[in-house]
Structure 1
Amino acid sequence: MDMAQLPDHDPDADADYGLPGWIYGSERFFREEQDKVLRPSWQIVCHLNDIPRAGDFHTFEFLGESVVVVRGKDGGVRAFANVCRHRAARLLDGPVGHCARIVCPYHAWTYALDGRLIAAPYPETYPALNVDQQSLAPFQVEVYRGFVFVRLEGDGPSVAEMMAPYDHELEPYRFEEMVPFGRVTLRPREVNWKNISDNYSDGLHIPVAHPGLTRLFGKGYGVEAQTWVDKMWGQLIDEPSRNPSERLYQRILPDSDHLPPERKRLWTYFKLWPNQAFDIYPDQVDFMQFIPVSATRTMIREIAYALPDERREMRAARYLNWRINRQVNAEDTELVARVQQGMASRTFTAGPLAETEVSLRSFGRKMRALIPQARLPRPPEGW
């Protein structure tokens, strides 16, 4: 079953339970996930404003593939395997860069920015060389509101179709005009990627484990799930927080004229199936991906974007935002590590889910539909 055929509201006999613990540590299950869940998924690489000129590129490492997204001379954006068609050497180094052409450092095979092979030394010595058939291997690419996504393989809905239920909420933020705020950071975690994803969409732990968010939102934290995207949100309350950073953020957060009144002090979180999230604040937008490395290791990839704004209050608000969320991230890191450790216990199979845990229910339904073994309380024989 591919993503295009994934049912929306088919009956699920296991809907009232979470996923079994063994799939959060099984390398065999991880291989199934790569083929059936992750490789057919859209992944964010960068923003158009990260690659404004012809020849600007961003690279992205995902599931053993090195992907390069490059701006062409025609202004278009393309994604290719960062692999020479001659002897498979990596072509471009580093996370970002610029090149007039793509030249292999091994044998100097040379490609245009649109991926065409345009030069190979001594071409007459290759009996099987057909230049027209040796372009760089392409990947699917989609630009959604200025952000560049790639998909390694498969089909299914576009990013725009997946985000359609909430696209109207994103429109006022002017994503297309945003510029990078900082740089890409990578944070390794010794946990399964699904545990990070589950925690991101879990609303029940907010009042228990995140006192800062509770001080900011009170009891007004909401969670809902659409087919391909979860939404979480909290409106900043007027009561001053006891925490100095939170209280100052509440006080100095400047007005954003481009936002409607109901969004000027709203924090909204979206998780796009299956492994990426974006946190939308009045002052900036943070993207986060849970990049699976193995069954028990994940790399969190993050970068922030913002509209150009030189107001002193806005600069301060963005710094305070970072301080507040650094504490939230530290709390989540400890929580997820606790869960990962518990998932390894043979005493744990799958716990019951509350009716309000709509995001975990939605995630589990899709996983069970794509990989039926996820219904089993124990790994099948041979796994």
Structure 2
Amino acid sequence: MSKAAEFETGLPAWAYTDPDFFALEREKIFASSWQIICHDSDIAKPGAYATLNFMGELMMVVRGNDGVVRAFKNVCRHRAARLLDAPFGRCSSRIVCPYHAWTYDLEGKLVGVPRQDGYDFFEKRNYGLTPLGLGECGGFYFVKAGEGGQAFDDFAKPFREEFEIYKSREMKALGRITLRERVVNWKIATENYIDKLHLPVAHDGLSGLVGDTYKLRIDGDAYRIESSIEALPNQSPSVRAYRKFLPATAHLPDERRRQWLYLKLWPNLAFDIYPDQIDYMQFIPLAPDRTLLREISYAIPDESREMKAARYLNWRINREVNLEDKDVIERMQAGLASGNYVPGPISREEICLRDFAERMRQELPICRERQRPTKAAFEHARQA
């Protein structure tokens, strides 16, 4: 296949179903990726923590008594027991392992070992919690388990200014973390997020809200989808009510007060940026054909009737979008797994889909192969 022809098609079907390729993605793409874990308001007091299980990596952030937030592996250094269970919580001044009661302070230092005299050549200072990479932008915290990969400042560049405009640092969670499992490969969920042409076909409500204002743009490592709220005929009751009640948010410039902006970041994170709130969606790969969608909304506190109504209606509109997307992406996974599928063309309008496929080919050149590679080829790719 020529380079030009390759650019016009998606990835081969086996790249969405193969366990060896999934393992390669885990090692080469996700091990050194930045993953969102929480917002500053979620861990506001000393001892407050947030945890994340990302592809088997147990991670946590905790605020120390000095007010500093630190990131660690959520694993005891003694016998590898998971330390903290809840997505969010608060310790006292110590983190105590529920297996053998090894005890750590909030700065990660090992401070207590029952029956310490039974260990030979043992020094507590050598067994503090394992630190992880940590970055903060706009009040959101991101963690990284592996070495290498993108510097945090480079990763955050596409959304740093947006968070300043929307005053995200002042936001608080509107609810709890939502976890939705989908029977799809993570790339299908990702590609659907940046797929423009399915909007008027699969999403009557969202399409009725933004019409043909849905525009794609590539900004470095980020995909930007910009749209505006329009007064269009035949809008659903939720859409009409959202347009009616959405107040003019004082801190936003005029052009942002009726804009819905979507930011998709490499490899598996997206921010939905609305005038009334910011949502994040994290596509967590579980298996070649299973993905966990981790979602939550944040907003500047506002108890006005108009804003409360707008936020409720935003939720109703997006609840329908999520259900519609579940149907189409699971249809696609079923088709890819059915055997002998040859990738179809990607429209020139789908600049983000084309770019994502090319990025995957650059990161993992083995997925240029139209047929499933051999075990030896996968091993060679792993060693590269």
| TM norm structure 1 | 0.94
Q: CA–CA distance in 2 between the matches of 1:357 and 1:227?
A: 16
Contact 1:22 / 1:349 at 8 angstroms: preserved in 2?
A: no
Q: Tell me the secondary structure at the aligned position of residue 218 of structure 1.
A: helix
2:218 alignment partner AA: A
How far has the Cα of 1:13 moved from its partner?
7.5
Q: Equivalent residue of 2:45, what SS?
A: coil
**157-166 or 14-23, which moves further after superposition?**
157-166
| Aligned partners of 2:209 and 2:235 also within 8 Å | no
2:34 is the alignment partner of 1:36:
no
Match in the other structure for 1:345: 338
Structure 2 residue 291 is the aligned partner of structure 1 residue 309: no
Q: In 2, distance between residues paired with 1:105 and 1:208?
A: 51
Q: How does 1:139-150 map to 2 (within 5 A)?
A: 139-150=132-143
Question: For the residues of structure 1 that align with 2:95 and 2:357, how far apart are their CA atoms?
Answer: 42
What is the percentage of aligned positions where both structures have the same residue?
Answer: 48
Q: Does 1:219 align with 2:219?
A: no
Please give the alpha-carbon distance, in whole angstroms, between the structure 1 residues aligned to 2:173 and 2:239: 24
* Equivalence for 1:3: none
Residue number in structure 1 paired with 2:274 = 281
Indicate conservation of the 8 Å contact 2:137/2:156, yes or no: no
Taking the aligned partners of 1:156 and 1:34, their CA distance within structure 2 comes to 13
Q: How many equivalent pairs are there?
A: 373
Instruction: Tell me the residue number matched to 2:75.
Output: 83
Structure 1 position 355, deviation (Å): 2.1
Q: CA deviation at 1:368?
A: 1.2
* Preserved contact between residue 91 and residue 102 of structure 1 (Cα < 8 Å): yes
CA distance in 2, matches of 1:85, 1:77: 20
When structure 1 is superposed on structure 2, of 191-200 and 237-246 the one drifting more is: 237-246
Give the distance between the partners of 2:37 and 2:105, measured in 1 at CA: 21
C-alpha RMSD of matched pairs (Å): 1.6
The answer for the alignment partner of 1:50 in structure 2 is: 42
Q: Which stretch of structure 1 is more off in the superposition, 117-126 or 246-255?
A: 117-126
How far does the alpha carbon of each residue in 1:69-97 deviate from its partner, in whole angstroms, 9 at most, with x for none? Answer: 11111211111111111111111121111
Contact 2:158–2:221 at 8 Å: present in 1 too? no
Q: Alpha carbons of 1:330 and 1:108: their partners in 2 closer, same or farther (altered >3 Å)?
A: same
List alignment gaps of at least 5 residues for structure 2.
Answer: 379-384
**Greater shift after overlay, 207-216 or 182-191?**
207-216
Q: TM-score of the superposition, structure 2-length normalised?
A: 0.93
Asked if the contact 1:12–1:365 (Cα under 8 Å) also holds between the matched residues in 2, the reply is no
Q: Which runs of 5+ in 1 are unaligned?
A: 1-10
Relative to structure 1, the CA distance from residue 106 to residue 51 in structure 2 (aligned partners, 3 Å threshold; closer, same or farther) is: same
Look up the match of 1:8: none
SS of match in other structure, 2:206: helix
- 2:360 is the alignment partner of 1:362: no
On the 8 A contact 2:33/2:150 being kept in 1, the answer is no
Q: Is the 8 A contact 2:7 2:358 kept in 1?
A: yes
- Partner Cα separation in structure 1 for residue 233 and residue 310 of structure 2: 15
Corresponding residue of 1:242: 235
1:315, CA displacement in angstroms? 0.4
Please report how far the alpha carbon of residue 273 of structure 1 lies from its aligned counterpart in structure 2 after TM superposition.
Answer: 0.7
